Chains A and B, each alone.
Chain A
Amino acid sequence: MQRIGVFVCWCGSNIAGTVDVHKVAEALKSEPGVVIATQYQYMCSEAGQTLIKDAIRDHKLTGIVVCSCSPRMHEATFRKTAAAAGLNPYMVEIANIREQCSWIHKDMEVGTEKAIILGRAAIAKVHLNAPLVAGESPVVKRALVIGGGIAGIQTALDIADAGFPVDIVETKPTIGGKMAQIDKTFPTLDCAACILTPKMVDAAQHDKINIYAYSEVAEVKGFVGNFSVKIKQKARMVDPVKCTGCGLCVEKCPMKKVPNEFNLGMDKRSAIYIPFAQAVPKVATIDPTACLKMKTGKCGLCATVCEAGAIDYTQQDSFIEEKYGAIVVATGYNPINLDQFDEFAYNQSPDVVTSLEFERLTNAAGPTAGTLLRPSDGKHPHTLVFVQCVGSRCDGAEKGKSYCSKICCMYTAKHAMLCREKYPDTEVYVFYIDVRTPGKNFDEFYRRAVEEYGVKYIKGMVGKVAPQADGSLLVQASDLIEGEQLKIKADMVVLAAAIEPDQSARPLATMLTASMDTNDFFTEAHPKLRPVESPTAGVFLSGCCQGPKDIPETVSQASGAAAKVIGLLVKDSLTCNPCVAHSDELMCNGCSACEKVCPYGAITYQDKEFRMPDRTTAIRRVASVNPAVCQGCGACTVACPSGAMDLNGFSNSQIMAEVDAICK
């Protein structure tokens, strides 16, 4: 028989407000095996913990039950307390009488009764607890960063500067991400390329950083400290080692009519291309869907002109396998598709552009060399209308996103201001629902646009953009403050499209077993206190993959994620969770049901010799669990038809004992 101590926490009034803690302690005192049951205001405080430690020593307790908050909150705390008093930490059980009891009940009587039942269940479980000893697993001192935008670059640089090797996997031919496409950055209006490209070069030249550009993560196995990742290097048809990035092939390529994705299709590139002048790595890539040689077998001009002999039309996708201790997700965002918002005539007029397209139209390296010209006729626009919240804050609508995309108010203020500054003859309107500009020097920036640059901010939404016969765009909108309908004849309309996570995020989350919200943003381990970690151990979040963010915020989070990775990689080994599955080989019939459901690949099969009742021996196929890989999720124990699989600390008998205690 165990000697059990029960400790009921008030949590101030959090629990004691709805649960009669005295009554709970009194009721649980008479449970079998309970030698002491007491209550205290804050069990997690130092005094509370001392109370527990003293009780363990004085009453020679072999198990304890703490009736308090969720085990996610303080299980680790009380396990440490028990260990300090010489009790095996896995002899501690938590009865959650806060989140699952006091917080959801209003009636004291109901709450108290439920708290007693929950306590009783935990006591029944402790009776069957066995001391467990945690093993250790080594940490591979190498990090993987998925995504080479500013988030990924910053994270990689910080980790590498701390002395750990980092690999960046980027799906595009170059790192740089969205920031490379942006012209100026708010609120200081410094040039994005001027502050980004040095970082790209730093990353490329860092002896601890290795960049896999034009590559994708194909498979992830393993667990924190010991991930095994398969990376697919897509065939560039160009040897990146030999290629000098001279650009001769790009110049000579006869196929020059491919929409240039770096300029969002507003100009053309050749079939062999380098996305932009400062690309890292500065290596040419052949687009197999456009290349004449790849499509028809005729041409081969690039191979002829390449002095380095880097062109290789036979190149195939290749795979690399590497081990990592930590993985950082930095997959970024994209503006949403605007097909469902054609009241703004995005698909009907080339002069209706998205804000990202507008960036390219004002960028010195863009399709118009930085001069703002209308895409339709190349003329200088005089009246511009900016529409905010296109697809953002569409709560309850069948299209768009329910959330605020966060960056649009600021970049629209930036675009409007720069327009007025560069071209004082322009008239600039901004239609908004709310102007949201919290952030250091952000609101001042927006006010400057209004007060110093004379941008006309109008509260209200645009209902229709009608392309006219003379090439202008008639913008119909409502001014909610004046209470009138407006018709503005504009030359260009710029839409602040909502942003959404990159499409690669969802399959990646599945590979990483990292959770996502309904909008496909990665979820944090805790929205306030652990914002850069995913709930999956060893997986960290950086940048817009976790939620909409501007550059300063992205860089802060990127460094935050890096700090967490460094904190993990400096450890030589990690304490394993001893609550892992194990198989009773005598009961196992080798059906593979457990192997199929195991998300971690922890279960393998072995042929073992068994002695049969008639003194013969037989070879049987049985499951065995690798305790270093098992994460203790328990899926196998449920799947096992013969009951051979069991989970340490959460055995079938323990769970049934809890159920029995609740139903008593």
Chain B
Amino acid sequence: MTFSYYPGCTLKAKGKDLETYAVKSAEVLGVTMEELEDWQCCGAVYPMAKNEIATKLSSVRALVAARDKGQDLLTLCSACHHVIKRVNNDMANDQNVQLKANNYMALDVPYTGETTVIHYLEMLRDRVGFDNLKKAVVNPLKDMKIAAYYGCLLLRPSKAMSFDDPENPTIMEDFIKAIGATPVVYPYRNECCGGYVAMENNEYATQKCNTICTSATEMGADAIITACPLCMYNLDANTTENNLPVYYFTQLLARALGVEEDAQ
């Protein structure tokens, strides 16, 4: 199973762990992640202005590159996945964006949203299958009670992302079960961590993260997993009450597959 892989800038800097564990685990699972050549920033934030085209172009370039290789585009960072997936929807459904982006880029073959964008978690669920993942686990994390933290970017807007039920998602809980741990369901797993608000109002992020961690702790969790570098930052640096160890989900995946140390 081979995918075009889009890492995004954070995974080459602050969020290295998210990537290294993912790549190592993918090898074990027979998945090849072919990093796109000369990839650019995804645009970082999906632009809400209808007539904003320029910030969408770098995502389009990644999508076109995957199409030209005839591969699905695998993403890992929640923010990159969010931006690329929504830009892809625009390229498929919004004639204005489609026309202007294609005019600007003057591609040999115009791009109309043909590429499938798939997040690493979706890849585990839909392509590898959680059952097969379970079989590949050599080191089941039996003693861990893990709270999945989804954040907002993977789930919403639910129709565009079509990732999981936005109010009662299950994909990360199913993942936790597959690696042999016990999932802890708590009500704030799909709430905002404070996001970029932390830059100017740290207290707000602290308040959000404390609610999340307190709720997870009260429900009996002893660790939190996330797929998002920004959530990781907020949960890790801005939580003041009931701090729980926060992991990228890929780290625990690598641990369960017995390749955690190889990755370091």
Contact = CB atoms under 8 A, between A and B. Distances in A.
Given A348-B187, A474-B187, A466 B215 contact: yes
Contacts of A464: 187
Interface stretch (A138-146, A173-181, A339-347): A339-347
Interface in A451-494: 464-470, 474
Contact of A469 (B159, B167, B168, B220): B220
Given A348-B187, A474-B187, A398 B159 contact: yes
Contacts of A342: 165, 167-168
A470 B187 CA distance: 13
Contacts of A465: 187
Interface in B209-264: 215, 218-220
Contact of A468 (B165, B167, B168, B218): B218
A469 B185 contact: no
Interface residues on A, range: 10 to 19
B139 to A, nearest CB: 29
Contacts of A467: 187
Nearest to B219: A469
B210 to A, nearest CB: 14
Nearest to B211: A466
B166 to A, nearest CB: 8
Interface string B51-95: 000000000000000000000000000000000000000000000
A469 B219 CA distance: 5
Contacts of B186: 469
Nearest to A342: B167
B120 interface: no
Contacts, number: 30
B188 interface: yes
Contacts of A343: 167
A398 B158 CA distance: 11
A282 to B, nearest CB: 41
Contacts of B168: 342, 345, 347-348
Contacts of B215: 466, 468-469
Contacts of A468: 187, 215, 218
A490 to B, nearest CB: 13
A587 B187 CA distance: 74
Nearest to A470: B218
Consensus secondary structure, chain B interface = loop
Interface in B119-134: none
A343 B219 CA distance: 19
B244 to A, nearest CB: 14
A341 B158 CA distance: 13
A348 B218 contact: no
Interface string B173-210: 00000000000011110000000000000000000000
B43 to A, nearest CB: 26
B218 A469 contact: yes
Contacts of B220: 469
B186 to A, nearest CB: 8
A348 B185 contact: yes
Contacts of A466: 187-188, 215
A339 B218 CA distance: 26
A520 to B, nearest CB: 23
A469 B187 CA distance: 10
A347 B168 CA distance: 8
B187 to A, nearest CB: 3
Contacts of B159: 398
A72 to B, nearest CB: 41
Interface in B146-161: 159
Interface in A94-120: none
Nearest to A347: B168
Interface in A396-419: 398
Q: Which of B159, B167, B218 has the most CB of A within 10 A?
A: B167
Nearest to B218: A469
A474 B220 CA distance: 18
B211 to A, nearest CB: 9
A166 B186 CA distance: 55
Contacts of A470: 218
Interface in A314-359: 339, 341-343, 345, 347-348
Contacts of B167: 341-343, 345
B209 to A, nearest CB: 16
A491 to B, nearest CB: 16
A480 to B, nearest CB: 22
Nearest to B216: A469
Interface in B92-118: none
Nearest to A464: B187
A345 B189 CA distance: 13
A245 B104 CA distance: 78
A345 B185 CA distance: 12
A278 B165 CA distance: 41
Q: Which of A342, A347, A467, A469 has the most CB of B within 10 A?
A: A469
Contacts of B218: 468-470
A234 B32 CA distance: 56
Nearest to A474: B187
A144 B131 CA distance: 53
A345 B165 CA distance: 12
Interface in A336-391: 339, 341-343, 345, 347-348
9 contacts: A345-B167, A347-B168, A464-B187, A466-B187, A468-B218, A469-B186, A469-B218, A469-B220, A474-B187
Among all A-B residue pairs, the 4 with the closest Cβ atoms: A466-B187, A342-B167, A469-B218, A342-B168
Interface of A: 339, 341-343, 345, 347-348, 398, 464-470, 474
Given A466-B187, A467-B187, A469-B218, 9 more contacts: A341-B167, A342-B165, A343-B167, A345-B187, A348-B187, A398-B159, A465-B187, A469-B215, A470-B218
